Amino acid sequence: MSFNALGLAEPISRALSEAGYTTPTPIQQQAIPVVLSGRDLIGIAQTGTGKTAAFALPILNKLAAAPKPLTPKSARVLVLSPTRELSGQIVESFTTYGKHLRLSVRLAIGGVPIRKQIRNLSGGVDVLVATPGRLLDLAKSRAVRLDEVEYLVLDEADRMLDMGFIHDIRRLIAMLPKDRQTLFFSATMPPEIARLAGEMLTDPAQVSVTPPASTVSKIEQRVYHIGRADKPNRLAELLVEEPINRALVFTRTKHGADRVVRVLAKAGIGADAIHGNKSQGQRERALAKFRSGSVTTLIATDIAARGIDVAGITHVINYDLPEVPETYVHRIGRTARAGNTGIAISLCSPDETPLLKSIERLIKVDIPATGHRVEPRGAAPDKAKPQRASRNRNRRRGNNGGNGGQRPQRQPHRGDEIGAVAFLRDSNRPAADPTS
């Protein structure tokens, strides 16, 4: 099937051709005719499946077919997304596909001054893409009115739930007219999300292109069983040893992301971090460098990474394993896109072994392991005490003597940086044996 077969208006088909798009993805083939017909839609699709075009193209087509004057402070289309980055990419998509249409597309997200957004909305807009928190702020200050919205899109609803936006979304829905077309997209459908869909949609059609929580077959997955204190050195070694084009490294916390950047810098490896404590400008600059290839390693938290769609990511590295197994699927789905292969590597410390087992149960795959699987601390108390005593003796001596050259247990912050510096000093040594 080609895009021409979907019956899109000539200006939209021309924009797609100019952008190099010829064949719709499965989610686009299924969703576009449903949206054009006017029905509500539930789309089960993960990031990277082409779902943005699946709702943007038919909405643009309907706007072009029924032009109308804009009401001040109003929007004809409202797209809600969980993160600033994803919102920005949705705006880019609408702008690209609608470049030959006389339609306005505006962005309303946090992290940037609100006054410019208020000015942009004052005359009304055709398409408004927003994060829930900033849109509520604009609505409370009466800078935007939602009573004339004709099309509502809720993108990545399950991530909205994870981020605690469900109550905000319900408040926003109460401001919308009942007579509207609603498109609801989610990678998974937990009970809370199913209830929200039931509240928002009327007799929806459902399309699904990827089973929830499935993994891409073209991704090579492997796990390293190592101590937590050894993670910085192992990560630095991997970034040197692996044939990396772009690597996306996930940490569990914002401070952890910054710490990894510092550790890698001491090892002579350039990296940027992206997380909620970064300003919008810092996040955009980090993403721009990652896209251009001037920085090949990006450290991210799950929330900040949501919506990152950068071509050519060859490696996803789980520095910390996620606490929610489905999140692992979201993470590794950033690689092996557009027919390419990819590699997903996890660094699993003993206390994370239960998390790894949960992931393997979910994806129904035993991830190939390098190193011995180590049970969580406390599983072998008869061995734990002598190890701790040995480390304490080494700390009192102030060196590594008396333990066969074994390094003492490092503290989480300073020890990580010391380990990376040691790696830098010895960067010319042969590649480490992956089984060590």
Range 340-345 average pLDDT: 92
Whether residue 390 is predicted with pLDDT greater than 50 in this model: the reply is: no
Whether residue 429 is predicted with pLDDT greater than 60 in this model: the reply is: no
Whether residue 18 is predicted with pLDDT greater than 50 in this model: the reply is: yes
User: Where residue 399 falls among pLDDT bands split at 50, 70, 90?
Assistant: very low
> Percentage of the chain with pLDDT > 70?
82
Residue 11, pLDDT score: 96
**367's tokens:** 């991830």
Residue 327, pLDDT score: 84
Picking from 59-73, 235-249, 258-272, 379-393, which range would have the lowest pLDDT averaged per residue? 379-393
CB atoms within 10 A of CB 421: 15
Out of 1-15, 61-75, 80-94, 183-197, the most confident range is 61-75
pTM: 0.63
Range 349-359 average pLDDT: 95
Beta strand pairing call for 41-44 and 181-186? parallel
User: Where residue 434 falls among pLDDT bands split at 50, 70, 90?
Assistant: very low
Average pLDDT taken over every residue of the chain: 84
Residue 416, pLDDT score: 40
Name all domains of the chain by residue range, CATH numbers in brackets: 3-208 (3.40.50.300), 219-380+411-425 (3.40.50.300)
Q: What angle do CA 64, 70, 75 make, to 5 degrees?
A: 85
Residue 186's alpha-carbon distances to 135, 161, 195, 328, 381, in angstroms, are 20, 10, 13, 16, 44
Range 130-146 average pLDDT: 96
Which residues have CB under 8 Å from 81's CB, separation 6+? 87, 90, 129, 130, 131, 155, 156, 307
User: Where residue 373 falls among pLDDT bands split at 50, 70, 90?
Assistant: very low
Distance from C-alpha of 174 to C-alpha of 300, rounded to nearest angstrom = 34
Range 98-123 average pLDDT: 95
Report how many helices (DSSP H) and strands (DSSP E) the chain contains, helices first. 17, 14
Range 398-411 average pLDDT: 38
Please write the tens of the pLDDT for every residue from 255-308: 999 999 999 999 999 999 998 888 888 888 999 999 999 999 999 998 777 667
Whether residue 197 is predicted with pLDDT greater than 50 in this model: the reply is: yes
Whether residue 407 is predicted with pLDDT greater than 90 in this model: the reply is: no
Distance from C-alpha of 28 to C-alpha of 6, rounded to nearest angstrom = 9
More confident residue, 266 or 426: 266
Residue 187, pLDDT score: 83
Whether residue 329 is predicted with pLDDT greater than 50 in this model: the reply is: yes
User: Where residue 163 falls among pLDDT bands split at 50, 70, 90?
Assistant: confident
Out of 57-66, 151-160, 321-330, the most confident range is 57-66
Picking from 178-182, 189-193, 348-352, 375-379, which range would have the lowest pLDDT averaged per residue? 375-379
Picking from 101-110, 166-175, 349-358, 363-372, which range would have the lowest pLDDT averaged per residue? 363-372
Q: How many CA atoms lie within 13 A of 208 on its CB side?
A: 11
Residue 280, pLDDT score: 81
